[in-house]
Amino acid sequence: MIIDALVAEIGSTTTVVNAFDGLESNNPRFLGSGFSPTTVLEGDVNIGLNQAIEDLKIKLNTDSLKAKETFASSSAAGGLKMSVHGLVYDMTVKAAKEAALGAGANIKMITSGILDEYQIEEIKSLQLNIIMIAGGVDYGERKTAIENAKIIAGLKLNIPIIYAGNIQNHHLVKQIFIDNNQEQFLFISDNVYPKIDDLQVEKTRQIIQEVFHKHIIHAPGMEKVKDIINHDIIPTPGAVMEASILLQKSMGDLVTVDIGGATTDIHSVTQGNEQIEKILIAPEPFSKRTVEGDLGVYVNKDNLIDIISMDRLVLELNIDIKELENIIKNYQVIPNLKQYPLTERLTLEAFKQALNRHSGHLIKMFNAGGKVTYAEGKDLTNIKHIIGTGGALTRLNNSAQLMKKVILEQNELSLSPPKNSQIWIDRNYIMASLGVLSKKHPEASLVLLKESLEMV
């Protein structure tokens, strides 16, 4: 059987392979998915990848499966581990962070100002995949970024370093890396904060994803994966962002919720409300991603249980404490009937907490003229659509109802999505794969995305 494309999504717990055909026609088709546990712990993610392909063959009823094009995204082994170093947190550091998160990075460290000896030691210990240096508006402050470039180049970490600060420093930063024999690891981007209240993150996001494919081998066996994938491997969260941006152009402003076993990611694509924009304390990017590394319904289930509390779970699930403890003790990636209510409750809490952290808020303050209102963070009040993807929301029967409940309970001071926002579920669980595919086949990807979305 020969098809147009296979897209592999290598996650922290599950590997999925999706098959597509007719990508250059007026009738692109999603053929099916194969699944397998991700095999990082076995020392080679290819084991799980091949098992997922075999599962796909069974579902497609074929002994042979060949694809003209092969794509992949990955978040295995912690994904793209990155640190960000800028001048002032609320300005250049924030802009650099938004660029990194939007590209699918997992931020492990953020600093403002010139790095001190303790921060340097932390950088050395984190086993980072990429470092970003920012700082200074164009033709503004130069020293901080230059000093941080000297320090980081001098560490000789042999990992990609992205410079996205004051453009006046380009020549000097290049020379610093040449002097330290690290020039092959330096990538220079546009300034993420070129002038006050202006975030320019798209160019840097693109470079991060290019660097990821060319230089990052972040899970055992990834070298072999790169040998069989004939297009860029990008971080899975970055792929979901690409799909969200593509959908926003067609559907209007939206939020995508991706709840997994280890993290909960929120992606929003919206300019926000003009009135809110006038009272914002600091600018926000058009497309924004937040990742909550403590909110996952499998690896991080205990964090969610602590947030809710055992006593409250006993009451809400109408079970005794011993039964709850037994369910938690035998908790599985794919819930059985006994575990199902608990997994639903943890999914609701993950969305609730992640959306609250992602959404901006109104702030009431007093000044000489009396009481005034300011806005801080991302404004989601113009959102029209909320899309659920990821293992939990695409597989739980009541996921849309859980999402709706969270939206209806939002605080009036929160800049959260309107209560009448339309809920959609990515029923085929292919949003990340189509984000990858959209790099080469945007028209077909949009058609397939809309076909996968189920209105609830």
Residue-wise pLDDT for 275-333, tens only, equals 998 998 888 889 998 888 788 898 889 999 999 999 999 999 999 999 999 999 999 98
The counts of H helices and E strands in the chain are 17, 19
pLDDT of residue 283: 83
Which architecture, in CATH terms, is 2-77+218-228?
Answer: 2-Layer Sandwich (3.30)
CA dihedral 262, 93, 284, 246 (to 10 degrees): -50
pLDDT of residue 42: 66
CA–CA dist 292, 354 (Å, integer): 6
DSSP helix/strand/coil, 201: coil
pLDDT of residue 107: 86
pLDDT of residue 290: 87
What's the angle, vertex CA 37, arms to CA 33 and CA 40, rounded to 5?
A: 125
* In contact, 256 and 236? CB cutoff 8 Å: no
Residue-wise pLDDT for 417-430, tens only, equals 999 999 999 999 99
CA–CA dist 254, 274 (Å, integer): 17
* In contact, 403 and 423? CB cutoff 8 Å: yes
pLDDT of residue 319: 93
pLDDT of residue 79: 61
Residue-wise pLDDT for 26-82, tens only, equals 999 999 999 888 776 666 777 888 899 999 999 999 999 999 999 988 875 556 788
CA–CA dist 32, 30 (Å, integer): 6
CA–CA dist 176, 149 (Å, integer): 7
Domain extents for the chain?
2-77+218-228, 80-215, 237-455
pLDDT of residue 88: 87
Dihedral over Cα of 154, 158, 162, 168: its sign: positive
80-215 and 237-455: same fold?
A: no
Consecutive 10-residue averages of pLDDT for the chain (456 residues): 92 86 95 85 77 94 93 72 88 82 80 95 92 92 96 95 95 97 94 85 83 61 71 84 95 95 91 91 87 86 94 95 95 91 96 94 80 90 96 91 93 92 96 94 96 91
Which architecture, in CATH terms, is 237-455?
Answer: 2-Layer Sandwich (3.30)
Residue 454: both structure tokens together: 């189920």
pLDDT of residue 92: 78
Residue 384: both structure tokens together: 């029209």
CA–CA dist 281, 373 (Å, integer): 10
Q: Where are the beta strands (DSSP E) in 193-336?
A: 233-235, 254-259, 264-269, 287-292
DSSP helix/strand/coil, 242: helix
Which architecture, in CATH terms, is 80-215?
Answer: 3-Layer(aba) Sandwich (3.40)
pLDDT of residue 236: 84
CA–CA dist 176, 156 (Å, integer): 12
pLDDT of residue 215: 59
| Distance separating the N- and C-terminal Cα atoms of the chain | 35
pTM for this structure? 0.82
